[in-house]
Chain A
Amino acid sequence: DQQVKQNSPSLSVQEGRISILNCDYTNSMFDYFLWYKKYPAEGPTFLISISSIKDKNEDGRFTVFLNKSAKHLSLHIVPSQPGDSAVYFCAASAGAGSYQLTFGKGTKLSVIP
């Protein structure tokens, strides 16, 4: 039973356009969310996080939006660059900074030059 779902296995976007990666969760105890980026043959790299007390967090080209009522979060990348091509994992925990992360299965983003 997947508690964190990334329903789009893949996404293709033109360079310079916006990439929107989506994530849904079912466990209402989750209150801290993270996005990780993973290149082939490398480990996941932390990208950005958001606590449930916020509905938006920005870091440069990356913005995460949280809709608690819908149990949905999204990662926006603007503008998208070819180097952003990677697999993006959404993760959630119950309790800010709890060590127990539940990961989605990832969305493979391809940014086309």
Chain B
Amino acid sequence: DAGVIQSPRHEVTEMGQEVTLRCKPISGHNSLFWYRQTMMRGLELLIYFNNNVPIDDSGMPEDRFSAKMPNASFSTLKIQPSEPRDSAVYFCASSPGWDQPQHFGDGTRLSIL
């Protein structure tokens, strides 16, 4: 059974470039989450989608960050323009319902030079 799939696994880019992270949730899961993990702040929720609709984006740090979920099997997190302080590991997670344990992908390690 395929888990949450994230791509790319690693991304290195220069400051000012646009970065797009991708996520395919587990089939049948209707809740999707994007997290950011840093040494300083640990794991933080950025945005939560339910049935493809953004429910809570209060964790999105700035307008440079945006997320979409055009259908039940795909979501993107975009940073434009990127800055060195955006360097982190970004995780996508999905769950069968908002009240069920979340299943995490293996993350995208993002480095902004």
A positions within 8 Å CB-CB of B: 34, 36, 41-46, 49, 89, 96-101, 103-106
Contacts and interface: CB of A to CB of B under 8 A. Distances in A.
Given A43-B4, A43-B93, A99-B56, A104 B98 contact: no
A89 to B, nearest CB: 7
B99 A100 contact: no
A99 B104 contact: no
A43 B100 CA distance: 17
B34 interface: no
Nearest to B99: A97
Chain A's interface: helix, strand, loop or mixed, by majority? Answer: loop
B25 interface: no
Given A43-B91, A89-B43, A105-B42, A99 B106 contact: no
Contacts of A49: 101
Given A97-B99, A103-B42, A42 B106 contact: yes
B98 A97 contact: yes
